[in-house]
Amino acid sequence: MYKLIFSKRAIYEFNQLEKLIKSRIWNKLQLCKENPFKYFEKLRGINSFKLRVGNYRVVADISKGKLIILVLKVGHRKKVYYK
């Protein structure tokens, strides 16, 4: 089972979301702990993955060797890929 780790930026962005959205994202991340590659898609151009939750995205690095999902960004799909 993979371990979830949030970056400081991801924690801040996650806490800024509405309660319902946070709940949906958290539940989806819990599903991903068993087999993240079933839910995450590879991003083009950078060595990261994205998880779709409605109009929101979670950008993460996944380490197969260490069994870690490092959440880098969380936000609306229009804003999450910038900066």
What pLDDT score does 1 carry?
A: 92
The CATH architecture one would assign to domain 3-76 is 2-Layer Sandwich (3.30)
Name the pLDDT band for 83 (thresholds 50, 70, 90): low
- Asked if 77 and 55 count as a contact pair (C-beta separation under 8 A), the reply is yes
- Asked if 75 and 13 count as a contact pair (C-beta separation under 8 A), the reply is yes
Question: What mean pLDDT is reported for the chain?
Answer: 94
Provide the CB-side half-sphere exposure for 81 (13 A, CA). Answer: 12
pLDDT value at 47 more than 90: no
53-72 pLDDT per residue, tens: 999 999 999 999 999 999 99
pTM for this predicted structure: 0.90
Q: Which helix (H) or strand (E) holds 16?
A: none
- State the Cα–Cα distance between residues 56 and 66, nearest whole angstrom: 27
Phi, psi values for residue 59, rounded to 5°: -105, 130
Query: Where are the chain's structural domains?
Result: 3-76
The SS3 call for residue 7 is: coil
